[in-house]
Amino acid sequence: MRRIIAILLLIILAVGISLSLAKIPFGTPKTKVGKYYIEEGIEETGATNIVTSVVVNYRGFDTLGEVTVLFIAAIGLGAVLSTVRKKTAREIEPASLVLSTGCRVLFPLILTFGTYIFIHGHLTPGGGFQGGAIIASGFLLIYLGCRERRISRTASNLVESLGGLTFVIIGLLGLVFSGYFLLNFLPKGTANALFSAGVIPVIYIAIGFKVGSELASIIDNLIEES
């Protein structure tokens, strides 16, 4: 009975939306703001990756809101899971030598790759969120492969808090220097160089560290059994 009502509802929804989707043409330019960001982007911000300049410079306040949402989700998960009664720890047999050696060799390589991606965020495709997710995958490999090594809780909490604090302090420094929150106040330099685009690489490095340690601590909270 419930299944039939659900299918009827979905058919009505499908007919309604497909009638209105036929009016949206595929592949034609639709807004003019995008054209403005592409043409004036390099002179105003100095970053050659236009998506990075939109995320950090033109809409930087939305990125601050997203970092806050991620922080609240990590805190909420830690608070709910601290009241769950933990089962008695089962006998875990340690992993074989090949597996644990392989994990230990791969871990610094993955960390280096993730750091490379978020440092060059303003020149090539990439940025803070992608690099942070790759770093969290490296930590997941350590938690699954060699179980004896644990990352200390206080170190990851410290890195995460410092990352978030750096972002807010850079915004407040923009307010102090010129009266606008999150203004780009460092010199812009020449395009396509590593030290260019003002304050954008600094913000992305802070976001990269924060997102990486936050996702790793989410996985640590879920795994912990004793």
Partner 1 sequence: MIFVFFLILLMLIAAMAASVFRDLISAVIAAALVSLIASILFYFLQAPDVAMAEAAIGAALTAAIFIIAIRRTERYEE
Partner 2 sequence: MSFLDSYIYYIGAFGLILVGLYIILVKRNLIKVIVGLGILDTGVNLFLISVGYITKGTAPIFSRPGIDPEQMVDPIPQALVLTAIVIGVAVLALALSLAIRLYQHYGTLNLRKIREQKW
Which residues contact partner 1 by CB under 8 A?
49, 51-52, 117, 125-127, 129-130, 133-134, 136-137, 140, 215, 218-219, 222-223
Helix-helix angle 200-223:153-178, to 10 degrees? 150
For partner 1, give the closer residue by CB, 131 or 174: 131
Report if residue 100 touches partner 2, rule: CB under 8 A.
no
Give the C-alpha distances (Å, rounded to integers) separating 28 from 25, 31, 40, 168.
Answer: 7, 10, 21, 39
Q: Which does 140 bind (CB under 5 to 8 A by kind): partner 2, partner 1, none?
A: partner 1
Q: Which of 10, 12, 162, 194 binds partner 2 (CB under 8 A)?
A: 10
Distance CA(71)–CA(210), nearest Å, equals: 9
Q: Which of 95, 135, 137 is nearest to 117 (CA)?
A: 135
At 126 the three-state DSSP class reads coil
Give least dist CB 210 to partner 2, A. Answer: 11
Give least dist CB 137 to partner 1, A. Answer: 6
Helix-helix angle 128-145:97-119, to 10 degrees? 170
Distance CA(212)–CA(205), nearest Å, equals: 11
Q: Which does 101 bind (CB under 5 to 8 A by kind): partner 1, partner 2, none?
A: none
For partner 2, give the closer residue by CB, 39 or 91: 39
At 209 the three-state DSSP class reads helix
Q: Quick check: 145 and 95 in contact, CB under 8 A?
A: yes
Report if residue 20 touches partner 2, rule: CB under 8 A.
no
Distance CA(141)–CA(154), nearest Å, equals: 20
State the residues that interact with partner 2 by CB under 8 A.
Answer: 2-3, 6-7, 9-10, 13-14, 17-18, 21-22, 24-31, 33-34, 37-39, 42, 48-51, 54-55, 59, 62-63, 66, 69-70, 73-74, 76-77, 80-81, 83-85, 123-125, 127, 129, 191-192, 211, 218, 221-222
